[in-house]
Amino acid sequence: MRNKINIFLILLLTLGASCSESLEEINVDPNTFPSAGDPQVLSSAIGFMGYVVENDLNYSSSFLWSQYYTWGIGVSIGNDERYVSVAGDFNGYWQRAYANSLVDLNYITNNSESPAYRGIANVLKAHLFQGLVDHFGDVPFTEAISGAIEDGSILTPNSESAESTIYPGLISMLDAALTDFELAEDGIVGEDDFIYNGDITKWTKFANSLKLRILMRTSETSPQGAAIQSLINSGTFIETTDDMPFIPYSGATGDQNPMYARAEFGVGMFYFASNATLNLLESLNDPRAEVLYTKATSGTFEGALHGIDQGTIDNEDFTSPASDYSLASEYAYGDSKPVILMSPWEVWFLRAEADARYTTSDDAATAFSTAIELNFSYMEVADAATYISSLDFAGAATLDDQIDLIAVQKWISLNGTQEDEGWIETRRFDRPASRLFTDGIFQTPPLSVLNSGTFPSSWLYPESERSLNPNAPAQRSITDAIFWDN
């Protein structure tokens, strides 16, 4: 009997172990990773970044404040056209940048054993943090996205100086990325990198180009001539559209350009071409005007470009159809339009300005011409050479004359693809030596709450940050200048 009992107990123990193993196996989904790996986290970060850049930045206040567009017919004029802002207007950008993209990218830089993934994550982090600074000024940086226990459980991060801490920190971040790229092996990153499909050579060019943008941003307040000279003499950069970092969209439902998807989910793209831009394009006889905007298909201006002065929609006949006016073209607005993170024409304009200011190994006139030629080519506009000749960059007598030419052409070239960067650069180029935008190109909306000739120069700190974080900075005004803006 004793032997029978022992055998019975052994059978029970065996069955128990077998059941335990079976239950464990049943509870593991073979098609799901128990924790996300580098590929899944990177693709998530890039996906959110596309929305942040195209919707929260390009299609926001900057869309109007760059004066590429103005309010159209069909709805009451919006606050952003009158320069009325409240803190809640900027919740989405702040939350999505920090809580979505930066959280994912920070996870990679803190945990990945792959130099390729760490380098890519640091480049994208630098891009996002620069955007936060260029809109808000001082923001959480060192203590940001550190709420997890392993990261320090910092739930109320302090903001830090954009000038003395964050901008220098972004250069260090990009230097770390460049070091990682030197160690990275080909083929480690694949299709989860929607931007370059793991091409480390192109990521290196993006890192150097972004580093140049950051260094050049402070040219009016804290010149970085030696660092810029060294970078241009030794670095490789985005030089052609083949090098261009962008997030692609197929146009299919669920994979549409974020600006298009948001607009079409609502009332559609109802903004009209601003005469601030059209007047300038017409004065330059610039053929890109007809690629950036559609021609009116009805009314007095049928077959021609027809915009309105900034913020004057209330003076137009409310019953006029949108077809009486020039709207965003397929180049500027479409379901499969890519989200460009940095264009080759932007980089060549930076190089032209760098040589003009600091005498680098480039030639300013050649870089200036190359920027325009690339933009014409991307827009499929012919005869860039004749247009460039009419600008007479070589005849610009002073540095300020050269900077003004670069400023205007850069602002034009960013239209339709990098509207937010266009607004940022108007603030930087509008300087004491030449208020070419605020005293010349820009128009004051009649219903503006700001004084005539005064325009927004920053965003308000978000309501969510001010209400949830006791360490948030004091609120700012939209006319407060970011540290590099004078």
Give residue 161's identity as a one-letter amino acid code. S
pLDDT for 424-446, tens place per residue? 999 999 999 999 999 999 999 99
Q: What is the average pLDDT across 257-276? A: 93
Give the range among 175-184, 232-241, 313-322 with minimum mean pLDDT.
313-322
The torsion angles phi and psi of 472, rounded to 5 degrees, stand at: -65, 145
Q: What is the average pLDDT across 271-291? A: 98
Mean pLDDT of the chain: 92
Written in H, E and C, the secondary structure of the chain is CHHHHHHHHHHHHHHHHHHHHHHHHHCCCCCCCCCCCHHHHHHHHHHHHHHHHHHHHHCCHHHHHCCCEECCCCCCCCHHHHCCCCHHHHHHHHHHHHHHHHHHHHHHHHHCCCHHHHHHHHHHHHHHHHHHHHHHCCEECCCCCECCHHHCCECCCCEECHHHHHHHHHHHHHHHHHHHHHHCCCCCCCCCCCCCCCCHHHHHHHHHHHHHHHHHHCCCCCCCHHHHHHHHHHCCCCCCHHHCCEECCCCCCCCCCHHHHHHHHCCCCCCEEEHHHHHHHHHCCCCCHHHHECCCCCCCCCCCCCCECCCCHHHCCCCCCHHHCCCECCCCCCCCCCEECCCHHHHHHHHHHHHHHHCCCCCHHHHHHHHHHHHHHHHCCCCHHHHHHHHCHHHCCCHHHHHHHHHHHHHHHHCCCCHHHHHHHHHHHCECCECCHHHHHCCCCCCCCCCCCCCCCCCCCCHHHHHHCCCCCCCCCCCCCCCCCC
Does pTM top 0.95 for this prediction?
no
Please report the pLDDT score of residue 165 as a whole number: 98
Q: Which residue has the tokens 């929260």?
A: 56
Please report the pLDDT score of residue 35 as a whole number: 67
268: tokens are 């559609």
Q: How confident is the model at residue 153 (pLDDT cuts 50, 70, 90)?
A: confident
Look at residue 303 and tell me whether its pLDDT is greater than 90. Answer: yes
Please report the pLDDT score of residue 74 as a whole number: 76
Q: What is the average pLDDT across 323-346? A: 97
Domain annotation for the chain: domains and CATH numbers: 38-253+337-446 (1.25.40.390)
pLDDT for 49-76, tens place per residue? 999 999 999 998 998 999 999 999 877 7
Please report the pLDDT score of residue 7 as a whole number: 36
In a 13 Å sphere around the CA of 349, the CA atoms on its Cβ side amount to: 27
Look at residue 2 and tell me whether its pLDDT is greater than 80. Answer: no
The C-alpha atoms of residue 164 and residue 415 are separated, in whole angstroms, by: 31
Please report the pLDDT score of residue 254 as a whole number: 92
Q: How confident is the model at residue 13 (pLDDT cuts 50, 70, 90)?
A: very low
Give the range among 43-52, 147-156, 382-391 with minimum mean pLDDT.
147-156
The Cα-based distances of 121 to 93, 116, 140, 415 in angstroms read: 19, 9, 18, 28
Q: What percent of the chain has pLDDT over 90?
A: 86
pLDDT for 229-250, tens place per residue? 999 999 999 999 999 999 999 9
Please report the pLDDT score of residue 159 as a whole number: 97
